[in-house]
């Protein structure tokens, strides 16, 4: 699903215009980015948490020549899915009975 499809689905579910949903989505994205950029955390109960994480400096390998290179420390955005989100994605199919019917 791309952004256009997401906006259309949300507009239908919320009975709103696609234009209004797109404006709201843009505002939400900007608010999340701004908060995480200042090392804040955005927690949406049941959905997940957006936050900034520190990544330590490390030594990597140049894929072209195999020589070691230094990768500097960085702060990266991260998302951790909430329990309800994980549970919704991890629905297991019903087990099939191994017993044969009619015998």
Q: Are residues 54 and 32 in the same domain?
A: no
Burial class (CB in 10 A: 0-12, 13-18, 19+), 47: middle
Residue 98: the pLDDT is: 60
Range of the domain at 59: 39-87
At residue 100 the predicted structure's pLDDT band, cuts being 50, 70 and 90, is low
Mean pLDDT over the full length of the chain: 92
Residue 103 domain-assigned (yes or no): no
Residue 91: the pLDDT is: 83
Q: What DSSP state is assigned to residue 42?
A: E
Strand positions, DSSP E, 1-103: 41-44, 48-55, 58-61, 68-71, 74-81
Residue 40's contacts (CB-CB under 8 Å, 6 or more residues apart) are 51, 52
Model confidence at 101: pLDDT above 80: no
Q: What is the pTM of this model?
A: 0.74
Q: What DSSP state is assigned to residue 17?
A: -
Number of domains the chain is built from: 2
Residue 92 domain-assigned (yes or no): no
Q: Are residues 44 and 69 in the same domain?
A: yes
At residue 97 the predicted structure's pLDDT band, cuts being 50, 70 and 90, is low
Residue 73 domain-assigned (yes or no): yes
Model confidence at 23: pLDDT above 70: yes
- DSSP characters over 27-39: HHHHHHHHHHHTT
pLDDT in tens, 37-62: 999 999 999 999 999 999 999 999 99
């Amino acid at each position: 699903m791309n952004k256009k499809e997401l906006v259309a689905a949300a507009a239908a579910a919320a009975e709103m215009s696609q234009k209004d949903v797109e404006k709201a989505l843009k505002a939400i994205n900007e608010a999340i980015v701004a908060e995480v950029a200042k090392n804040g955390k955005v927690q949406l109960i049941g959905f997940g948490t957006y936050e900034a994480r520190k990544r330590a400096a490390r030594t990597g390998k140049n894929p072209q020549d195999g020589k070691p290179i230094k990768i500097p420390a960085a702060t990266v955005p991260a998302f951790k899915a909430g329990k309800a989100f994980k549970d919704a994605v991890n629905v297991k199919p019903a087990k099939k009975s191994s017993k044969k019917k009619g015998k």
